[in-house]
Every structure is written in structure tokens, then in C-alpha cells.
Amino acid sequence: MSQAQAPEPRTTLDPERVAHWLARHPDFFVGREGLLQQLKVPHPHTQGAISLLERLVHDLRERAETAEWRLEHLLETARHNEAQYQRTRSLILALLEAENIDALGEALSTQLSEQFRTQAVALWLDSPHDDSAVQPPQLRLDDAARATLEALLDGHNSRCTQLSRDAWHQLLPHSEPPENSGSCAVTRLTMGEPLGYLLLASQESEHFRATLDTLFTDYLGEIVGRLLIRLDTAHARRD
């Protein structure tokens, strides 16, 4: 009487080896399309399984939607940058057309209000030519104003920060203060020598929030500083 043979032990294929083998043989399913239809994979969002083909269609749709969102985001960014460029261009051209420092201050105030929703501007200068003729937003810099402006800068060349009602009264005496506190962007005007400060302010406390980048404020300060030197030189030649 022969003894029954013991069943051979079941072997389980290593998933990693299977995946590696399939990756090396991408043509394995050619002619075995029926096998593809039988394969089931987990549903990406709910319990249960769906066919491999359904999953592929789902993944492709998600990729298309993601690509569409990214494209729309890029277009929106491009539109914003274009608008920002046009506003900045209008501002700089108006500043370049100023024939004197008073006109420069007026152009600053008008353009920043119309193009950038800046509600108040002050141009605090060390040495106005004629103190009696100084008109806002140009103001004569004194020790008290300098101390307040330096406190706002807190060691930076440019800074966005909160502006208290008392500081608003002191630094922007020609404009209506906020009910509580506003916000401001302040930059030091320096072209080889201290010239003064440029202060942009809003009655909205978050308009110039502290986390904002100061690249635009730095850039505007450099332009204004150069124009102040140029206009001051032209004034001296006329005298």
C-alpha cells in the first residue's frame, strides 16, 4: 500500500519582486487584456474595490484637474503681476515728471492713493529749502518725529508695522487718523547721506501688516531718494 504524498507547501510571491518583474516586462499584459479587466484595486475614496481600468481613469481625471488648477493659478499670478507692473509704471512715470520737491510729494500722494489704496503719505525731509513754504505731504523733520520714525523702523531700513492713533497724529498731521490704530510702511531715505523718511499709511490695521515683504517700499524709497538729490541739485543751480 503506497503512502499518500504530502501536499506541496503553498508559496507566496513577494509583492516587491512581482512589481519589479512587471516593471521589467511592460508588455506582459499584451494579449492578456481580459486579465486586466479582472484585476481589482482599492477605491481611492470609499471602501470596496474597482477595476484597474476604472482606477486608471479616475487617476487620469484627477491629474487633469490638478493640471488645470495649476494652470489657472499661474494665469491668475500673471494677471496680478501685470496689474502690479502697470500700477508701478504709472507711479514711477508720474514721479519722474515732477519738476520740484513739492510736485514730487503731490505725485506720491496722488498715485499711491489711486493705484495702491494708500490713504496717507508723509515725506519727512531733513532740510526743506523753505520751511515756511513746506506743504504736505512734505514735512520738516525734527527730533521728535525722527525718534518716532526710528522706533517704527526698529533697526530696519524699511518696515511694515502697526501705527497707533497718537503716532498718526504726530507723523501724519494733515490726514484723518483711524478710530483705533492703523498700519504703515516706512523707509529710510539715504543716498550717501540721510535725506529723511517716507511714510505710507492706511487706516486699516492689516493693510501694511508686519508679515508683508518690504521690497516695494525699498524700491520706492530708492527712487524717491534719487529724485530728491536730482531736484535738490537742480534747485541749487537755479539759485
Residue ranges covered by each domain of the chain = 40-96, 116-238
Per-residue pLDDT tens for 36-68?
667 777 766 667 777 767 777 888 888 999 999
| pLDDT in the model for residue 34 | 74
- Choices 3.40.50.620, 3.40.50.2000, 3.30.450.40, 3.40.50.1100: CATH for 116-238: 3.30.450.40
Percent above pLDDT 70 for the chain:
85
Give the model's confidence band at 225: pLDDT under 50 very low, under 70 low, under 90 confident, else very high: very high
Q: What is the mean pLDDT of the chain?
A: 87
Amino acid at 179: E
Closest among 121, 186, 190, 188 to 160, alpha carbons compared: 186
More reliable by pLDDT, 153 or 5 = 153
∠ CA 193-199-205 to the nearest 5 degrees? 150
| pLDDT in the model for residue 166 | 96
| pLDDT in the model for residue 4 | 55
| pLDDT in the model for residue 213 | 92
Beta bridge partners of 160: 185
Per-residue pLDDT tens for 186-220?
999 998 889 999 999 999 999 999 999 999 999 99
Closest among 189, 235, 236, 223 to 96, alpha carbons compared: 223
| pLDDT in the model for residue 33 | 67
Residues 6+ apart with CB under 8 A from 117: 202, 207
Per-residue pLDDT tens for 113-150?
999 999 999 999 986 555 556 889 999 999 999 999 99
Closest among 151, 123, 174 to 164, alpha carbons compared: 151
Q: b/e for 76-103, b at 16 or more Cβ within 10 A?
A: eeeeeeeeeeeebeebbebbeebeebbe
Per-residue pLDDT tens for 159-174?
999 999 999 999 999 9
**The three grid cell numbers given for residue 158, joined into one nine-digit string:** 524699511
